[in-house]
Structure 1
């Protein structure tokens, strides 16, 4: 694969974090917008807005602060990878570099619950991240908020209620 090596975002986290939501890697639109879940068709912001009572159409920094005020942090499993397009299936498996979760969990020890935004994030984490010293953390996979993951109306929101 001749795609450019892409770099993800730093974690959106502060000292109040008790919950971490992990995606796989930002979409093309997210990277271009420099925003987590920057594709307006992604259900992430409408779902979390509903769960935590904020306007999903508010400016990005307002939405991030709203999540953080509820103890929710965002990050992705991958720090770097090569991918053409936005599909998880297009990620070059030879290019995967995971984020440093040991450092994150050491720096933010109140994180006790990790939710994977979809199957790919869960699979990548389990395959690439060493899970030492994480006995205190509960891990759960949720349905992807991606527009590519089609489920019946309301099913994603119902499953995502686990984070609130």
Structure 2
């Protein structure tokens, strides 16, 4: 059984970015999107006009929070061989009812990949007052170019 990380959300959070479950590299480092070929941080730093990318995870989280962006995963825990979402089984979702009660300023959810959206929608459906965006996965398993991912992700921040 593998477990997700706690949410990086505060009272200023308006946008919540949700993955499915951290991959092997992230679990090992205990940092979101730690795989060196994952495009997540490069996309965020580019969109938030803050290159170069910090090496420090705390600074990455601070950048998101300064821009009213939170980070979490749809799943609290699951069984999974490897890092691919298609291998997930026996999953348990995170407690979003409590999260949205505690942080009512969240009005936008950006799903990092179709699988996170699928798991969220199945359990929670469409939540009134929150807009959903399903973005291409930033994972290296998604072979779409960085430029194309960036262009699509930028639509959430216009």
The equivalences for 1:108-147 within 5 A come to: 108-129=103-124, 131=126, 134-147=127-140
Report if aligned partners of 1:114, 1:140 keep a CA contact under 8 Å in 2: yes
Where in structure 1 do 4 or more consecutive aligned residues deviate above 4 Å? none
Quickly say closer, same or farther: Cα 1:102–1:28, change in 2 above 3 A: same
Report if aligned partners of 1:98, 1:129 keep a CA contact under 8 Å in 2: no
The equivalences for 1:29-48 within 5 A come to: 29-48=25-44
TM-score in terms of structure 2 length:
0.94
CA distance in 1, matches of 2:63, 2:144: 27
CA distance in 2, matches of 1:152, 1:96: 30
User: How many pairs are equivalent?
Assistant: 156
Structure 2's unaligned 5+ residue stretches are none
Shift of the alpha carbon at 1:153?
4.4
3-state SS in 2 of match to 1:161: helix
Q: Deviations over 1:106-142 (max 9, x none)?
A: 11111000010001001111112355xx211001100
The equivalences for 1:10-159 within 5 A come to: 10-54=6-50, 55-92=52-89, 95-129=90-124, 131=126, 134-159=127-152
CA distance in 2, matches of 1:24, 1:50: 23
Shift of the alpha carbon at 1:14?
1.0
The alignment's C-alpha RMSD in Å is 1.2
Structure 1's unaligned 5+ residue stretches are none
TM-score in terms of structure 1 length:
0.91
